Amino acid sequence: MRDDGDREPPANPSDTPSLRELAELALTRRRFLQAGVAGAFAALPGARLFAGAPALGFQSVPPSAADAVTVAPGYRAQVLYRWGDAVGAAAGAPTFRPDAGNSAAEQALQAGMNHDAIEYFPLPRDSRASARGLLAMNHEYADDGLLHPDGMKTWSAEKVRKSQAAHGVSVIEVERAGADWRVVRPSQYARRITAYTPMRIAGPVAGTDLVRTSADPAGTTVLGTFNNCAGGRTPWGTYLTCEENFHSYFGGKPPVTAAMQRYGLGRGGWGFRWEEHDRRFDLAAEPNEPNRFGWVVEIDPYDPRSMPVKRTALGRFMREGAMLTLAADGRVVVYSGDDAPFEYVYKFVSRDRYAGRPADRDLLDRGTLYVARFAADGTGEWRALRHGDPGLTVADGFASQADLLVRARMAADALGATRMDRPEWVAVHPRTREVYCSLTNNPRRGAEGRPPADAANPRAPNIYGHIVRWREAGGDPAATRFAWDIFVQGGDPAQADPARRGTVKGDGFGSPDGLAFDARGVLWIATDGGTGGDYAGLGNNQLLAADTVTGETRRFLVGPRACEMTGIAFAPDGRTLFVNVQHPGTQGRSDPDHPRAGSNWPDFDPAGRPRAATLAITKDDGGVIGR
Ligand code: FEO
Ligand code: CA
Ligand code: CA
Ligand code: CA
């Protein structure tokens, strides 16, 4: 589990393998195995590059409550792409109106609100270009208090359309010139995908009764994606975006089924009010519409004409992200958390192997979905959500595999999966293949009528969250057994109560959410914690780096007030880090009469409003980030 090698960083961190190279390694290994040369994987050049543990080579940033981005000395954080900036799909794009006066049609050509996951795709495709590429990123949700000049005081079809246009995904082209990055406009690749962009439904659920609606009697196409939280990428160069709290957009008063209840539907949603002007969000009118959300959506950023695809074989839940890696034999493995209190950790293993062929594009349509069970003795098991298995039969109420995938939470209940403290992002160590999963917090654990603490979720209540990690049997991501431990329990080291101090070595933090490894094997942690109270001593949300060998965490960047830090993507050379600042100024819905009450970052326009934005972080000496 630990690296006992020397502590020199690798000579050239840019030589650590990309997903594509891992794919090639897996293919090579298969050929070796076919030739009867077992164990060849360990001897491949890609594995050898990782001798030596990574180190944190930057100076820690203290906690801060300032309305500013503070980054480690010797680094620069440039604001690259803000809510309302033109996406660049065409020349003459609409400019942002700081009074929120842009129309719905204009918003559909501009950056959406509340940037979340982000991935970098080099240009040209299949290169390791680190000075020109595409960024694909999520816009998780719209803050209607900031999106319209008078917030939600009046409500109209145009406002619903603008809210829907502020959701979804951006694909933008970016290039580096010296220390600066800029968005290329116009760009042949640039596009916005919104809550009404046409998409295809693929996999076992496509074409079934479960997803038929009056607008789509075939059950094969759907309009849009929303509440896109974390994401992922594939070795074939596509972006995976994940639909998290989709239930919160549906209103109306339907007869509430057990399945609706299990997915939080039928309680009126979170006040987006889409159902008032868009019939498909009225559950009484279209009870199947919510079955068309909660999926992983695959987008080809290199082809702006391609239609996004919902991959239903991966199951439906409040899906945080989709961390893809490759099994030893080349099968595709995707890890995901279901981010709600007491929900589960899942993984999908494809039936077929990645082989670098055009047919690989549909690998995510066939495979097995598993859910994790963490035993108290430090072992764990992946249990298959396979229709017909004990507990998952017709007699148990599951009509088909499609039915089971739509109600994955209920199938996982039947399998005795472990109820976790809000599983968010998953990251896989590039060398050890250890898997890390952030469990952001769960103040309800241990409350009356709620599950008590258990081995994998040891604090009740869990105020600061923790990160659990596991090692798959034989180091193979497709294995069905694993060994696990807790990497760190978040906390404030200044607290007297040991349960609130946590087990942090180094800089304290709470509510870990975004996780990503850089090519050197440093774990980057983005936080999404509260303000004040238990979090007062930790300052604003932040980005930290962790040495997984020593366990040390060090604060690299602090965001502006009331923001969440999220979306971690490195250019292939490791010399630029793109991160997203989400919802500066508010953790709820803003007051339109006081749009600058919580923050006025990044413009500080006295008549403007705070704007979520992508940061491009570079080192003054042009070096590798974090080293
Ligand atoms: Fe959208 Fe679970 O964070
Ligand atoms: Ca968020
Ligand atoms: Ca998140
Ligand atoms: Ca979160």
CA atoms within 13 A on the CB side of 276: 15
Per residue in 450-473, pLDDT tens? 999 999 999 999 999 999 999 999
Pocket residues: Cβ below 6 A from ligand 1: 140, 229, 244, 320, 339, 424, 513
Quote the pLDDT of residue 50. Answer: 43
φ/ψ bin of 474: left (φ > 0), alpha (ψ from -120 to 50), beta (otherwise):
left
**Terminal Cα distance for the chain, rounded:** 22
Is 80 exceeded by the pLDDT of residue 44?
A: no
Is 70 exceeded by the pLDDT of residue 474?
A: yes
Is 60 exceeded by the pLDDT of residue 329?
A: yes
Quote the pLDDT of residue 593. Answer: 98
What is d(CA 103, CA 97) in angstroms, rounded to the nearest whole number?
A: 10
Per residue in 250-271, pLDDT tens? 999 999 999 999 999 999 999 9
Give percent above pLDDT 70 in the chain: 91
- Rounded distance from Cα 13 to ligand 1 centre (Å): 30
Per residue in 601-616, pLDDT tens? 999 999 999 999 999 9
Is 80 exceeded by the pLDDT of residue 202?
A: yes
Quote the pLDDT of residue 47. Answer: 34
Per residue in 560-610, pLDDT tens? 999 999 999 999 999 999 999 999 999 899 999 999 999 999 999 999 999
Phi, psi (rounded to 5 degrees) for 32:
-60, -45
Closest ligand relative to 527 C-alpha = 4
Domains of the chain with bracketed CATH: 19-619 (2.120.10.30)
Q: What number is the average pLDDT over the span 427-437? A: 97
DSSP 272-339: --GGGT-GGGBTTT-TTGGGG-SSEEEE-TT-TTPPPEEEGGG--SSB---EEEE-TTSEEEEEEEB-
CB atoms within 10 A of CB 124: 9
- Rounded distance from Cα 232 to ligand 1 centre (Å): 14
From the number of C-beta atoms within 10 Å of its C-beta (0-12, 13-18, 19+), residue 206 rates as buried
Q: Which residues contact 334 (CB under 8 A, 6 or more apart)?
A: 232, 240, 296, 314, 322, 323, 324, 347, 348, 364
Closest ligand relative to 440 C-alpha = 4
Is 60 exceeded by the pLDDT of residue 318?
A: yes
Tell me the two tokens of residue 158: 């145009």
What atom in ligand 1 is closest to the CA of residue 440?
2
Per residue in 70-111, pLDDT tens? 999 999 999 999 999 999 998 888 999 999 999 999 999 999
Phi, psi (rounded to 5 degrees) for 30:
-60, -40
Quote the pLDDT of residue 243. Answer: 99
Are 331 and 407 a contacting pair, CB within 8 Å? Answer: no
Q: What number is the average pLDDT over the span 173-193? A: 96
What atom in ligand 1 is closest to the CA of residue 424?
2
Q: Which of 424, 434, 505, 428 is nearest to 465 (CA)?
A: 424
Side chain identity at residue 84, one-letter code:
G
What atom in ligand 1 is closest to the CA of residue 244?
1
- Residue 245: pLDDT band with limits 50, 70, 90: very high
- Residue 358: pLDDT band with limits 50, 70, 90: confident
- Residue 19: pLDDT band with limits 50, 70, 90: low
- Rounded distance from Cα 427 to ligand 3 centre (Å): 13
What is d(CA 114, CA 108) in angstroms, rounded to the nearest whole number?
A: 14
What atom in ligand 1 is closest to the CA of residue 140?
1
- Residue 3: pLDDT band with limits 50, 70, 90: very low
Query: What residues does 347 pair with on adjacent strands?
Result: 335, 370
Phi, psi (rounded to 5 degrees) for 371:
-125, 150
Element (H, E) at 261: helix 258-262
Closest ligand relative to 567 C-alpha = 3
Closest ligand relative to 228 C-alpha = 1
Are 386 and 348 a contacting pair, CB within 8 Å? Answer: no
Are 489 and 468 a contacting pair, CB within 8 Å? Answer: no
- Collapsing DSSP to helix, strand or coil, 59 comes out as coil
Distances (CA, A) of 602 to 106, 199, 582, 614: 21, 34, 12, 11
Is 60 exceeded by the pLDDT of residue 13?
A: no
Tell me the two tokens of residue 38: 């077992």
Is 80 exceeded by the pLDDT of residue 69?
A: yes
- Residue 178: pLDDT band with limits 50, 70, 90: confident
pTM across the whole model: 0.93
Quote the pLDDT of residue 21. Answer: 52
What atom in ligand 1 is closest to the CA of residue 229?
1
Q: 3-state DSSP helix/strand/coil percent for the chain, to nearest 5?
A: 15, 30, 55
What is d(CA 116, CA 107) in angstroms, rounded to the nearest whole number?
A: 18
Kindly report the protein residue whose alpha carbon is nearest to atom 1 of ligand 1.
229
Give percent above pLDDT 90 in the chain: 89
Is 60 exceeded by the pLDDT of residue 299?
A: yes
Tell me the two tokens of residue 8: 């020199």
